[in-house]
Structure 1
């Protein structure tokens, strides 16, 4: 059904340096990409998160587990900045630790389908997957979204929707 969950507490070094899958205001061209990612990534390419749904949030989207696909970008940290980038993203996403009741998002490991380098368009579908960190809506947020949230058709968040806010994957 869903890939195994793996989290680490903020500030603790991960056992493996994983890429990050982003799908909201951290996407290229969005406000938080410039603020948090500029100069901190070595590679960025289109990707798809399978078995997930995307919902509108207040200025940013939320991804949750579900029967759909979320389009985004797979980011690889630049050499020597992985720990800094992990800490910045944990802070931005209000991830206080695995299962913390005040988390806005949970940082989990998921299989992501990378697309070709460069161009936009369809990502995934090649059968190849990469294990990546993904910030999914925390449990309380997920419950609220499932009962009254606005689903984003097609799983692709764009600036044309709600203007980007200061805190979103």
Structure 2
């Protein structure tokens, strides 16, 4: 049996805030680059209201989840989209940025489990979260 795990260079992105298809950062960074967008959920994580954008943090509380979209970027646009999103999310290779990019399993609305890049709150955001926690109980940025 062959390994069907996608390479890091082809992973879709799980987006849950301003990068969702109706968000302003989607229009700037993803519009015209997408091959597919479908509803999806990240289990075992919580969504917090940040300063104009959300933060996702791992959370083992039963039932905790984040509602978002699984975005597949066209192969020819992938490298540029990845660089743009890392820059937008202030994701640094040393893990000290506003966000950290991690490979996580997400579930589509059709029940399919897929691996995707997810931007989780990094050390800078975690400091503010400790000072000002603002859990979005619905797990959905659009319904905060």
What is the aligned partner in structure 2 of residue 92 from structure 1?
88
Question: Which residue does the alignment assign to 2:45?
Answer: 52
Runs ≥4 residues deviating over 6 A: none
2:78 counterpart residue number: 82
Query: Aligned equivalents of 2:120 and 2:15: distance in 1?
Result: 10
The Cα of 1:147 is off from its aligned counterpart by: 5.1
How large is the Cα RMSD of the aligned pairs? 1.7
For structure 1, the 5+ residue unaligned runs are 1-13, 117-125, 162-169
What do the CA deviations read for 1:34-58 (whole angstroms, capped 9, x no partner)? 1111111100000000000000001
Name the residue aligned to 2:106: 112
Deviation at 1:16, TM superposition (A): 3.7
Q: Answer 1 or 2: which has greater helix percent.
A: 2
**Number of the residue aligned with 1:164:** none
Alignment of 1:100-139 (within 5 A): 100=96, 103-116=97-110, 126=111, 128-139=112-123
Gaps of 5+ in 2: 1-6
Higher relative contact order structure (alpha carbons within 8 Å, sequence separation ≥ 6): 1
**Structure 1 residue matching 2:84: 3-state secondary structure:** helix
Compared CA separation, residues 33 and 52, structure 1 to 2 (3 A):
same
How much does 1:30 deviate?
1.1
Aligned match for 2:138, one of 154, 157, 162: 154
Size of the aligned set, in residue pairs, is 135
TM-score in terms of structure 1 length: 0.74
TM norm structure 2: 0.86
The 1:71–1:99 alpha-carbon spacing in structure 2 relative to 1, beyond 3 Å, is same
Q: 2:89 & 2:74 partners in 1: Cα distance?
A: 20
For 2:17, the equivalent position in structure 1 comes to 24
